[in-house]
Chain A
Amino acid sequence: MSEEALPPVSHMATARDSESPWRSSLHQLRHNKAAMLALLVFVLMVVAFLLAPVYADNIAHENPFASNVQGLININGKLESVMQANTQGLGLGVTPIGPTWHFSTYFLGADNLGRDVFARLLYGGRVSLLIGASSAAMCCFVATMMGMIAGYFGGVIDWLMSRFFDLIWAFPIYLLAISLSVILLTSGIDLGFVRIGPGSLLLPILIIAAVFVPYVGRPIRGIVYSLKEREFIQAAIGSGASDWHILYKEIWPNVAPTVIVFFPLMFAFDILTESALSFLGVGVQAPQASLGTIIQDGLNLLYTRPWVAIAPGICIVICAGALNILGDGARDAFDPKAKLRGSI
């Protein structure tokens, strides 16, 4: 930007003073270098994961969901087996090919079914992010609705919703998620009007969203509860505004920053939870892959082919770390007085 294009300093200050709190917060977030770097890294990861089909179909020419145990690949003009039989000693064991570091050919090697780990990693990352984002969005939406209604209306509604939160909160997250998964992944959900098959990605999304609802809903209920006593709400009530109007026009704008802070944090938690469930075999089901299922595949190859487990682990660390840093940045920008630090 040229010097001439810069507005006078006094003008800038005036403009800033007149900015809405939203613009001000976004401005602050944009100037948080750590948060912006985290956002950049996260966006790069998302783009890479979204390009999974392009990589598999046009570069690697591999179907990452079909076994390739008898397959041969060309590395530097030499044909090699994807699954390499041991020829030493007693000749026991077959080991998948390790990382070739050739971008187009089994870059990170093969898994125990001879599938391209890098292609699976991209597809798996896509699924993990999809589940993480969807469940975080669903969780934040449902929790916000419940928290606002409970906090605003109070009384029996508040009691019922609070006990519901307590009920879910009483269970350890993973134990509850595993229990729900074991039941639902066996038979799916069939409510007559809603039918979700056992292998559907909707199941882990719903389960993860459900177990985290109280962790978002409770703080929001508390915020609404305290807001309700504030003068501007009382004034709105006094002026005869309807409950829904107050909730939407007066309370929601004050709750939204907290939800915005929560979203990236829940996104990170949900990616971790999905990975844990899939690692335990009660999340994403074969032949679909997620970062957790790939780590599970790699667990049995840890000794000879550690990259199968390490690579998705690194992806999880990067995604969850970036979202946490972004969430912290969002908190500093949108809700600087928040006591909440996102630890669950």
Chain B
Amino acid sequence: MLRVRPMRRLVIVLTLIAMSLLGFAAIPPHTVGASQRYQLQPQHVGGILHLVANSAGGTLDPQVNYIEQYWQLYQATYDSLVGFQKVGSTAQSTDIVPDLATSMPKLSHGDRTYTFTLRRGIRFSNGKAVTVNDVIATFQRLFKVLSPNAGLWYSDIVGGPACMKAPATCTLKGGVVVNSVTNSVVINLISPDSVFLDQLAEPFCSIIPADTPPTDQGDKPIPGTGPYMFKSYNPNSALILVRNPYFHIWNAVAQPNGYPSEIEETFGATAESEVTEVENGQADWMYDFPPADRLAEISTKYASEVHLNALGADWYVPMNMNIPPFNNLKARQAVNYAVNKFTTVTLYGGKELGVPTCTILPPDVPGRLNYCAYNSTNSSTYTGPNLAKAKALVKASGTYGEKVGVVAINDPVDESVGEYIQGVLNSIGYKATLKPLALNIMWPYVQNSNNKVQISVLQWYQDYPAGSDFLTVLLGCADFHKGSDSSPNVAGMCVPSIDKLEAQAAAEEMTNAAAANAMWGKIDKLVMTTEAPWVPLFNPVQVDFVSKRVGNYHFSLVFNMFVDQLWVK
């Protein structure tokens, strides 16, 4: 998932402290019904939760928006057939639980058929009942609105390839089959997919009314089923969520009730003023990462209001393997040796906010191996750069003196990392320039191979903790589309033998998760040692700064803080 706003995160599990204050510590959280909790803490229900952000996060359409800022809010407004667990520990937040479906699906036909039963009696926020026709329309609309990951995630549904070719007439015939009498929903896949349930739990699959127009709804709210609904949205000023009058708890683990009676997110403040607003209690939470010059202040004077959580994410420097100078393996290895990852962590905010990494997979992805192919020592953990080796490799590659353009987002941290990379490239013999781009331009720009971006500074935040969400999505042949703005394989790596191994690992996941995890770890190591398509920099930490009155902080490894679980009373 693209995090448009670069954020740094790290883990201190204050959640347990908050929960113990609530009297939950002794009870396994997933066994506590949200209705029970709601009743347990009635004194905290109500009030207006004030959120602040520098800018709006784009369209409100959950099938189009791919920005973390609104994915957080969708957790309170929409539901899918299955969802990521919203109650319990942070580690449990990646568990899949039934949401609008009565139970987890039955798998058949060689794990290619998923059979769900839709719950009865659930209504959208406009009062209309949720039916199986809404479910099938939702899946069709994924293709009709050209949802960002339709091709990547959902085209393995039977009928998906045809929908990709002719989105306007998408029917998914034979792919999604519903029965309005039994309320069953059957999804047939072309081939088994070990992460299909994870993908179903993402906001793209939020069940929305069948009569929703098949175009991006922009600032027009689409009715949902969560405890809140969007009341108004003006991207220039504010977004307001109010309680959904038709919401009732059907599975508190998947969709608990929320605490505030209203949630407001206002736009336009600078990150500096956001910090001041939260300090003064004028706002309850800031979306943006606190500016570097305020970090020390909030971590000392307001330590109790800061929540740090490690993220399943990478800051990385992809190198274009298809154009000079980085179509040369030695050149890519040279950059890997030259970059000082401790420096990038310092630029990001210090060692409490990032951990240098040598791997593509972040630590929370099962199977990740602890190794470091490009290091100053033989240690398996990163110890520092090796400039001498880097310079020798540049000379050996025959790319010495070539011009290199570094592309980075023009916010302070990204740009300073970009400027640092530029300096490193110059120091090993290249003639580097820096091209800072606005954040809404940068991501599509670097993806499009026509722009001939040689090297860039990027971040990738996991959609779900799986090796494929990094290795397949970011480095697989299928995700490199020449001339397209939607080509997340920015390095342009396409090694069929590695693709084959990834396919084997994905297939193995269906039967032997441990073996599959081990395979992903080995593929990660293989990619870095034989191809070196990136310089992995560090795994960041999320900083959530909340006001004094805020309680009940819960963090998800998939969607970050649960906004609607905060209380302000």
Contacts and interface: CB of A to CB of B under 8 A. Distances in A.
A112 B350 contact: no
B412 A92 contact: no
B352 A92 contact: yes
B58 to A, nearest CB: 22
15 contacts: A67-B423, A86-B296, A88-B296, A88-B299, A89-B303, A90-B299, A93-B350, A95-B296, A112-B292, A112-B412, A198-B435, A285-B433, A286-B422, A300-B412, A303-B272
A182 to B, nearest CB: 10
Interface of B: 12, 272, 291-301, 303, 306, 308, 340, 342-343, 346-347, 349-353, 410, 412, 416, 419-420, 422-423, 426-427, 433-436, 543
Contacts of A70: 340, 342-343, 346
A301 B303 CA distance: 21
A90 B352 contact: yes
Contacts of B298: 92
Interface of A: 65-67, 69-70, 83, 85-86, 88-95, 112-113, 186, 198-199, 281, 285-287, 300-305
B17 to A, nearest CB: 14
A90 B292 contact: no
B433 A92 contact: no
Nearest to A86: B296
Nearest to B303: A89
Nearest to A92: B299
Contacts of A88: 296, 299-300
Contacts of A91: 299, 350-352
Contacts of A69: 340, 343, 346-347, 420
B299 A86 contact: yes
Contact of B350 (A94, A199, A303, A305): A94
Contacts of A300: 291-293, 412
A70 B291 CA distance: 21
Given A66-B423, A89-B300, A92-B295, 14 more contacts: A85-B346, A86-B295, A86-B296, A86-B350, A89-B301, A90-B352, A92-B298, A92-B299, A92-B353, A93-B295, A113-B347, A199-B433, A286-B434, A303-B297
Contacts of A198: 433, 435
A287 B422 contact: yes
Given A112-B292, A281-B436, A90 B419 contact: no
Given A91-B350, A92-B299, A113 B293 contact: no
A85 B295 CA distance: 11
Contacts, number: 114
Contact of A304 (B293, B299, B410, B435): B293
A287 B423 contact: yes
Contacts of B293: 93, 95, 300-305
Give the 10 A-B residue pairs with the shortest CB-CB distance, closest first: A93-B295, A89-B300, A92-B299, A90-B299, A93-B296, A86-B296, A303-B293, A304-B293, A88-B300, A92-B295
A42 B365 CA distance: 61
B119 to A, nearest CB: 43
Contacts of B295: 86, 92-94
Contact of A67 (B291, B343, B435): B343
Contacts of B340: 69-70
B422 A93 contact: no
B543 A92 contact: yes
A90 B350 contact: no
Residue of A67, A91, A93 most packed against chain B (CB within 10 A): A93
A94 B349 CA distance: 6
Contacts of A112: 292, 347, 412, 416
A71 to B, nearest CB: 10
Contacts of B346: 69-70, 83, 85, 94
Max chain B C-beta neighbours (<10 A), residue from A65, A91, A302: A91
B246 to A, nearest CB: 42
Nearest to B353: A92
A257 to B, nearest CB: 43
A300 B434 CA distance: 19
Nearest to A70: B343
Nearest to A63: B423
Q: With a 10 A CB-CB cut-off, give which of B343, B346, B434, B436 has the most chain A CB atoms.
A: B346
Nearest to A88: B300
B351 A85 contact: yes
Nearest to B345: A94
A86 B298 CA distance: 11
B420 A113 contact: yes
Contacts of A285: 433-434
B292 A94 contact: yes
B291 A303 contact: yes
A159 to B, nearest CB: 40
A93 B353 CA distance: 8
Nearest to B348: A94
B436 A93 contact: no
B300 A186 contact: no
Nearest to B300: A89
